[in-house]
Amino acid sequence: MNWNYPFGTTEIIFTFLFIIAYAAFFIRTIRVARRLKTTARSLIIKFFIRSIAFALLIISLLGPSFGESESDLKAQGKDIYIVVDLSRSMDATDVSPSRLEKVKFEINRLLSATLHNRIGLIVFSNDAFTQSPLTYDLAALNLYIQSMQTDLLPKNGTDLCSGIELAYSKMMQDVSATNKSKVIILFTDGERGAECNASLFNNLRRFGFRLFIIGVGTANGSSIKDRNAFLLDDDGKLVISKMDLNAMQDLARRTNGSFYRVNNETNEIAKAVGDINSIEGQLIDSRRVAIISNKYYYFLAIALGLLSLDVLITVRTFRL
């Protein structure tokens, strides 16, 4: 038998008070019986009943546990690289407050819903750069996410393939990622599509990579903020950024991936999270633990039964 709580000061005080109170009651009852020239035999019975009941109450207070059972606890996780488009078009406002700000918000939702995973962050425009390697430290990762801006990278433009290829290379070179479930989550407005090398798509399929494409934007598009004005092209015309829906769906098809939309009317992040969580992860930790149940109520029930019996037994110190 195990105990959930130690025999401490509280139990000692209750025991001491019980002994003093019952000794005083015992002595007083014996004296009264002698003066009346009677016997108080039932007092002995009540003493045993009350002592046993008191002991059972103390035992229930200590939280006895027995009848242990064992269970296997398993923690599973995946390796996930979040790849974020930081081209100037991500400042477009067809998704409030802007495409990039919406991406930051949705990534935080995604992180809170996909626990026990190693997550890294890659940003790209014309070129791709690793902001954070795969890590379990989500607090540090969140700092990188909040610092993302479209002027963070030295060159502008959009090259989806560079971000996907860098994520693929990082996970293939990571020895600890061997045999792990590998996931790439791409956040982009999909303005220019993706003209990647066919070998990249083949390798993604061959090595079991799962690509989740989150398209942030609308087909109608919007203008792009440029400080206090809007971005103009070389001819002085207003630049309108539009999401190429067909190109994003084609990219998902060619990589055996999945495509989800995020804008002011449609938000499929919850569906994406569900699909990501449904992927079987690698076993991170497995432990066999003993499950112990507090059985105090057995002792408490018996004690209450004895106290009820005690009420029915009287001590007669005189006869009528």
* pTM attached to this predicted model: 0.64
What is the pLDDT, as a whole number, of residue 63?
Answer: 78
Question: Between residues 39 and 83, which one has the greater pLDDT?
Answer: 83
* Least confident stretch, 58-67, 68-77, 232-241, 296-305: 68-77
pLDDT tens-digit readout, 146-168 = 999 988 887 777 888 899 999 99
pLDDT tens-digit readout, 181-199 = 899 999 998 876 667 888 9
What is the pLDDT, as a whole number, of residue 100?
Answer: 94
Query: Which residue reads 């269970």 in tokens?
Result: 71
* Least confident stretch, 87-96, 193-202, 206-215, 240-249: 193-202
The set of residues, in sequence order, having a beta carbon less than 8 Å from that of 250 and lying 6+ positions away, is: 193
CB atoms within 10 A of CB 281: 21
Residue (of 259, 314, 256, 303) closest to 49 by Cα position: 303
pLDDT tens-digit readout, 54-86 = 888 888 878 777 655 555 545 456 899 999 999
Pairing of the two strands 128-135 and 118-124: antiparallel
Task: Return the structure tokens found at 125.
Answer: 């425009």
Name the band, by pLDDT with cuts 50, 70 and 90, for residue 231.
confident
What is the pLDDT, as a whole number, of residue 72?
Answer: 55
**Distance (Å, whole) CA 98 – CA 25:** 81
**Distance (Å, whole) CA 49 – CA 46:** 5
**Distance (Å, whole) CA 141 – CA 184:** 16
pLDDT mean over 35-54? 75
Q: Is the pLDDT of residue 320 over 50?
A: no
What is the pLDDT, as a whole number, of residue 319?
Answer: 46
Q: What percentage of the chain has pLDDT greater than the value 70?
A: 85
CB 315 within 8 A of CB 26: no
Q: Is the pLDDT of residue 316 over 70?
A: no
Q: Is the pLDDT of residue 279 over 70?
A: yes
What is the pLDDT, as a whole number, of residue 73?
Answer: 47
**Distance (Å, whole) CA 100 – CA 92:** 8
pLDDT mean over 279-286? 60
Q: What percentage of the chain has pLDDT greater than the value 90?
A: 29
What is the pLDDT, as a whole number, of residue 53?
Answer: 86
pLDDT mean over 220-237? 79
Classify residue 90 as exposed, middle or buried by CB count within 10 Å of its CB (0-12, 13-18, 19+).
buried
CB 257 within 8 A of CB 213: yes
Q: Which fold would CATH assign to domain 74-285?
A: Rossmann fold (3.40.50)
**Distance (Å, whole) CA 160 – CA 67:** 58
pLDDT mean over 130-145? 91
What is the pLDDT, as a whole number, of residue 42?
Answer: 67
Q: What amino acid is encoded at 185 in this protein?
A: I
Domain spans, the chain:
2-68+292-312, 74-285
Q: Is the pLDDT of residue 264 over 60?
A: yes
Distances (CA, A) of 256 to 162, 163, 275, 281: 18, 17, 13, 18
Per the prediction, the chain carries an average pLDDT of 82
CB 41 within 8 A of CB 317: no
